[in-house]
Structure 1
Amino acid sequence: MHFCTKDEFPKLEEVKRDHFASLKNHVSHDPELRKRKVIKILEIGVGTGVNFAHYPDGCRLVVVDPNPHFQEYYNNNRKKFPNIHSEDILVAKGDDMHMIEDGSVDAVVITLVLCSVDNIDQILKEVRRVLAPGGKFYFMEHVQEFDLKKYSLRKKLQDFFTWCGLWPFIFDGCCLNRDPMPAIERAGFTKVEVDRYYAPVPNFLFWVEMPNVKGVATK
């Protein structure tokens, strides 16, 4: 995972930058943070910490990840961003974040994580629980191919690499043929904005991950 994410890919970073740009305009529910014009963000499945560059200055960042082996890489990354008040990784799954209080964060971020979790519905329930009223849930995920007329081969490869266990083994449980949108749309958010697109993948290895969705759901 570190080998595959340690290098930046400019086109992908542009997509992320545009997607997370509105974070800087969000107003915190917390009076003290609001005075300082900063927000509190929770990232679920932080991994090695590849999203630091897209978070607004001064933000308070809480992170959870079930894999303790990411901590070394995450800690090395966070040192490069002293403008962000990032906390140590809470080793936990996103479907049980009891250590995080109800309505205590302004935004939740999940990127390329829902492909590998056991229970998407329970994670989304936890996302809604920890978000303050009006809070935003930012998501970016690769999904199963949605244009079967043009890319039926890609769908077959997604199914095969997932079924044989090769892709999940290499990429920490990742399943190529999932679509989290039905779960997100029924999770009880007041508004869900979503965009389906083909990601500018860095090389042919990730051709099977090109179908993507990104969006923002509001509590």
Structure 2
Amino acid sequence: MAEVMVLFLILCLQLLALPVYVLSYLGLWEPFCKKFFFPFFLEKITVIYNWRMSRQKQDLFRNMMEFADRSGKLTVLEIGCGAGSNFQFFPPNCKFICTDPNPHFRQSLTKSMAQNQHLQFDQFIVASGEDLSQVADASVDVVVSTVVLCSVKNVEGVLKEVCRVLKSGGAYIFLEHVAADRSSWTYLWQQVWSPTWKLIFDGCSPMRETWVAIEKENFSEIKLRHIQAPLCQTLVQPHILGYAVK
């Protein structure tokens, strides 16, 4: 009975989102989404996200300098930097490398860089998290991803690249929305919304059990917590945050 209800609700949502599905079928939605809709949407929504999640982000990034090299310098690589919403939380004078597969974030990113002069910006690399070949092996102290692994094509592939570019003893710091408990109503609604959600929000999945992939990767230490984020949208309230040491 529950499966029939889920199917019915999915069909209803797909009917409501029919214009987007039609544009997608015609091959018009993805370029429009990547160039216009998603950069605009993300720039606006991250203001709200940072306001509601500021305490969690401050706690998460507070100890980044513990992973600096012997000279006290810290090199940070952020995967999926988007419009630079995390810049304000990073420690002063760290060398910063930005990567994102969407080149259309460049304008918003440049604006964020100008507003965060406490960082030493090194380069912006247009690349997916699964292919960071422009970043040398064992060359960064910290890798950061926030609300990124929900939309990558291969979570395990991203984590392998994270381990490759990290120095020994370096840290991967993460904050990601994830699947809810499978017995919960939230998980049911994640199932209902998932097809339309992924289409509208550039491949973002509300149902990934990302912690499983992190725990399987070859990290020497993992500190990971599950939380209910103080967000209005129930579908993305389940989060994980923490760090993993190479």
Retained in 1: the 8 A contact 2:68–2:75?
no
Give TM-score scaled by structure 2 length.
0.80
Q: Which residue of 1 aligns with 2:66?
A: 25
CA distance in 1, matches of 2:180, 2:140: 33
Provide the aligned C-alpha RMSD in A.
1.4
> How far off its partner does 1:95 sit?
0.7
User: 1:143 & 1:179 partners in 2: Cα distance?
Assistant: 6
Q: Distance in 2 between matches of 1:81 and 1:2?
A: 16
State the match for 1:5 in structure 2.
46
**AA partner of residue 209 (structure 1):** V
2:123 and 2:88 map into 1 onto residues whose CA distance is 17
Q: What are the Cα deviations for residues 98-139 of structure 1, in whole angstroms up to 9, with x where unaligned?
A: 110000000000110111111111111100000000000001
Q: Which runs of 5 or more structure 1 residues have no equivalent in the other structure?
A: 29-33
Asked whether 1:218 is paired with 2:239, we answer no
- Match of residue 31 from structure 1: none
Task: Find out whether 1:40 has 2:75 as its counterpart.
Answer: yes
- Please say which structure displays the higher CA radius of gyration: 2
Taking the TM superposition and a 5 Å limit, the aligned residue runs for 1:1-219 are 1-7=42-48, 9-28=50-69, 34-35=70-71, 37-146=72-181, 148=183, 152-163=184-195, 166-201=196-231, 203=232, 206-219=233-246
Question: For residue 125 of structure 1, what is the amino acid of its counterpart?
Answer: K
- Between Structure 1 and Structure 2, how many residues are aligned? 205
**Deviations for 1:149-173, whole angstroms, at most 9, x for unmatched residues?**
xxx221111111112xx21233221
Structure number with the higher helix fraction is 2
TM-score (norm 1): 0.89
Change (3 A) 1:59 1:9: closer
Once residues 7 and 87 of structure 1 are traced to their aligned partners in structure 2, the CA distance between those partners, rounded to angstroms, is: 28
Q: Residue deviations 1:75-98, cap 9 Å, x none? A: 111111111012342100111111
Runs of 4+ in 1 over 4 A off after TM superposition: none
Instruction: Give me the whole-angstrom Cα distance separating, in 2, the residues matched to 1:73 and 1:98.
Output: 24
Query: 1:139-192: CA deviations, max 9, x gaps?
Result: 1111111273xxx221111111112xx212332211001111111111101111
* CA distance in structure 1 between the aligned counterparts of 2:161 and 2:115, rounded to whole angstroms: 30
